[in-house]
Structure 1
Amino acid sequence: MGKLAVSITNAKNDPDKATVGFVVANASVASGQETVVFLNVEGAYLGAEGYADDIHEEGFTPLKQLMEQFVEAGGTIWVCSPCFKKRGLNEEQLVGGATIVGGAKLVEFLSQGAACITY
């Protein structure tokens, strides 16, 4: 089994990139890859409960549904701790299935041979 990190740096500022990031992450986990989505920069907002509820890019499944499918399929969502805090968010607001982590956790995953793609 391979490893893939999908770094998502966008949210409502570019819903197309945020959505496609989760489309790719779902494809990865469905193909048996150990898959982590790392929500950072503006993408950290997606880690807050309710934020993605109204994001629906034309031609794609709604983002909230993509996120839920990813977690249900065994994918992991990590939210950048300083990015989340900078945006005035806290752990009580965290979306189900997500964990707040520091950059060292992502570096550890990447050092184990994971490929990384960024949206």
Structure 2
Amino acid sequence: MIKATAGDDAPERCNQAFTVAAAAVASGVEVSLWLTGESAWYAVPGRAREFSLPHAAPLDELLEGVLAGGRITVCTQCAARRGLAQDDLIEGIRIAGAPAFVEETLREGAQALVY
């Protein structure tokens, strides 16, 4: 489980979360990426394409990689604070709250990383 807490406000931290999530998916690990705070915006179509960080993989490609083999969730409260509803998000990304987060983190063998 990887929790991204930053967006354009902390681009290196944001990109690191997506990079680690995509690398984990590529290596066959079950991945759940949670988008919280400003990273919630990257669940909206086209927003990840706008992100730019020198010497980093494009965020939209990392996002596609995670979606292809993992799960992506936007925090319920974070979505609400940004006026985002399920229909605003990329297909395959869900909105869920603390109960789902706790359930995932407490699964046997789960490892949580927060960026």
The TM-score with structure 2 as length reference comes to 0.92
| Aligned equivalent of 2:16, options 14, 20, 23 | 20
2:96 counterpart of 1:101: yes
1:87-116, Cα deviation, whole Å (9 max, x unpaired) = 112222102321111111111011113111
Pairwise CA RMSD: 1.2
Aligned partner letter, 1:77: I
| Deviation readout 1:58-90 (Å, 9 max, x if unpaired) | 111110111011112x11101101110111122
1:76 pairs with one of 67, 71, 74: 71
Match of 2:7 in 1: 11
More strand, by proportion: 1
Aligned partner of 1:111 among 92, 101, 106: 106
Give, in whole Å, the separation in 2 of the partners of 1:87 and 1:37.
Answer: 19
Within-5 A mapping of 1:53-92: 53-72=49-68, 74-92=69-87
Equivalent-residue separation in structure 1 for 2:57 and 2:12 (angstroms): 11
Q: C-alpha distance in 2, partners of 1:69/1:49?
A: 15
Structure 2: runs of 5 or more not aligned = none
- 1:40 aligned to which of 36, 50, 57: 36
Q: How many matched pairs? A: 114
**Structure 1 segments of 4 or more deviating over 6 A?**
none
Deviation at residue 56 of structure 1 after TM alignment: 2.1
Question: TM-score with structure 1 length normalisation?
Answer: 0.89
